[in-house]
Chains A and B, each alone.
Chain A
């Protein structure tokens, strides 16, 4: 793509995204479209950690759950104002990220993945059993949010509008973040952490900041989930569901913010419609996952490259050597 085409694309990308999601409503339903949008916000945040920084975490549900439960507890015990609840959810996620980040970002690779999963397991356990007196345990709690003026988030259309605005905000944040000099440091951590350290960048601080941003944006998506569904259960923090967002990021293409939108939509569609066709859909989900690791590890953008015009890939040989 030439530079001129790129500039033209960028100016129009926000309207195109809005139009694409509005077009989903007649095809699917308002609720399904909202779910896709919220899941895409979650996938965007995870893509920053895994796609751009190269740190696979098997515990992002912890931060989603922090947002869900932060918003829900705010709604039940403090105020039912939805905006205040979203803020409470984000603050919960960010604080949890700041608390766990100094421990987790010291690890890399497999240790990072599994330490996050361990904390996710602890969080799940605390929500389900430890703090069951407040959170409602495995029964969960149902929520009712007050309307603000003409906006009533108990109506699906209003939730859709809120989710779309939030998605645009998250998308804008991720685009600015990954294209900034800070974003280049993030990619440096993925490619060669030691060299970044040697050049004098604050690698530890960057990793911690990325971890906290991921936590906060995941919690943002979680708070929106709480508003959309109107109830909370421990399934929103269950470590068994971590694979969903990993799948979305892998299939959409790692390190590609459009990929998160695509992967998020694909996952929600698969998980909603495949069970209607095949009862054992998790089996097929596992097979798709296995196939995408072995043959399409670059996700859908990689598949499209196969059919598109041949590009000169300067980095291909270098990347193969660095593994």
Chain B
């Protein structure tokens, strides 16, 4: 029972780290960013490539998280920025195309076989008679720390306040003479770095493969919808709630874990429909 709860919290933490960037892009620019899944996957691959050379796990995590920033910048500059004001369907197709291009480049470099990674800490501790891996607990701590940092960033800094205002009403913020574009770019890049961090943290739990982002994207979309559009606190609650749902149903019957998440998504859409 305890191990189920712990796994649920770990999944929830990873889902939160990935979804927060997706949530901000969706909330501020109204763009469904498929390339987010690509960034997530690239994070996992950079970790795989750098870990044997550096040898020190936290340094490799940092390398992967910072390494995707130029890629995110290129995607933002040449694709996302040109999509402002386009209709939603074209933005989805364009970011999907970026996803396909990136996927093929990844396959070109590393091949399409799944790559296994080992647990970087590889220690367990006993809590109430249950053995738990330290690594998974570390993931939960990192997620909570990030949630607090994001809260401080949004509430205390000028940039954060502008982003919150942009979530509410972009036009009025622009009317006040603030160049919203710059802040949205910043949020996009921070979100992408966090997506890569999510990929890095998720990689040792599963395997690194080109399509790993595909499934995660659907889950983080469910998190964003269930948590409420552009509501970063809702995203936090929904991530841990859905992580727990996945863990509990997965214990009962493996294939049911995703189905349960999407069933909750369907109920949430029935209760209040979204049209963006």
Instruction: Please give the residue numbers on chain A whose beta carbons come within 8 Å of chain B beta carbons, in ascending order.
Output: 50, 54, 56, 58, 103, 106-111, 113-115, 117-119, 121-122, 125-126, 129-130, 239-240, 243, 246, 250, 280, 282-283, 285-287, 289-290, 293-294, 297, 323
Contact = CB atoms under 8 A, between A and B. Distances in A.
> What are the nearest 6 A-B pairs in CB distance?
A286-B101, A56-B89, A286-B100, A289-B97, A108-B275, A283-B104
A50 B265 CA distance: 23
A113 B255 contact: no
B137 interface: no
A114 B223 CA distance: 12
B88 A109 contact: yes
Contacts of B79: 290
Contacts of A56: 88-89, 92-93
A266 to B, nearest CB: 16
Interface stretch (B128-136, B154-162, B213-221): B213-221
Contacts of B96: 58, 243, 246, 289
A263 B87 CA distance: 21
A54 B218 CA distance: 22
A19 to B, nearest CB: 33
Nearest to B103: A282
A142 to B, nearest CB: 24
Interface stretch (B39-47, B60-68, B140-148, B266-274): B266-274
B255 A58 contact: no
Interface in B7-63: 26, 30, 32
Nearest to B94: A293
A129 B255 contact: yes
A117 B104 CA distance: 21
Nearest to B257: A125
Given A125-B258, A286-B97, A114 B86 contact: no
Interface of B: 26, 30, 32, 79, 82, 85-90, 92-94, 96-101, 103-105, 107-108, 211, 214-215, 218, 221-222, 225, 254-256, 258-259, 262, 265-266, 269-270, 273-276
A131 to B, nearest CB: 9
Contact of B93 (A54, A250, A285): A250
A129 B98 CA distance: 30
Given A56-B89, A283-B105, A293-B93, A111 B276 contact: yes
A126 B105 CA distance: 30
Contacts, number: 122
A111 B94 contact: no
10 contacts: A58-B92, A103-B269, A108-B276, A111-B225, A114-B225, A243-B93, A246-B96, A286-B98, A289-B97, A293-B97
Given A56-B88, A107-B275, A118 B93 contact: no
A290 B98 contact: yes
A260 B85 CA distance: 27
B108 A113 contact: no
Nearest to A100: B266
A106 B273 contact: yes
Given A54-B89, A114-B221, 14 more contacts: A56-B88, A107-B273, A107-B275, A109-B276, A114-B225, A115-B266, A118-B222, A121-B258, A129-B255, A239-B214, A286-B100, A290-B98, A290-B101, A323-B85
Contact of B259 (A103, A126, A280, A294): A126
A111 B275 CA distance: 7
Contacts of A117: 218
Contacts of B30: 110
A118 B103 contact: no
A287 B255 contact: no
A249 to B, nearest CB: 10
Nearest to A58: B92
B211 A240 contact: yes
A162 to B, nearest CB: 33
Contacts of A106: 269-270, 273
Given A58-B92, A240-B211, A293-B90, A282 B100 contact: yes
Contacts of B273: 106-107, 111
A102 to B, nearest CB: 8
A247 B222 CA distance: 25
A126 B259 CA distance: 9
Contacts of B254: 129
A289 B275 contact: no
Nearest to B221: A114
Given A106-B270, A280-B104, A290-B79, A118 B90 contact: no
B97 A323 contact: no
Contacts of A290: 79, 94, 97-98, 101
Contacts of A240: 211, 214
Contacts of A103: 266, 269-270
B89 A122 contact: no
B258 A285 contact: no
Contact of B92 (A113, A280, A323): A113
A318 B256 CA distance: 48
Given A243-B96, A286-B98, A323 B87 contact: yes
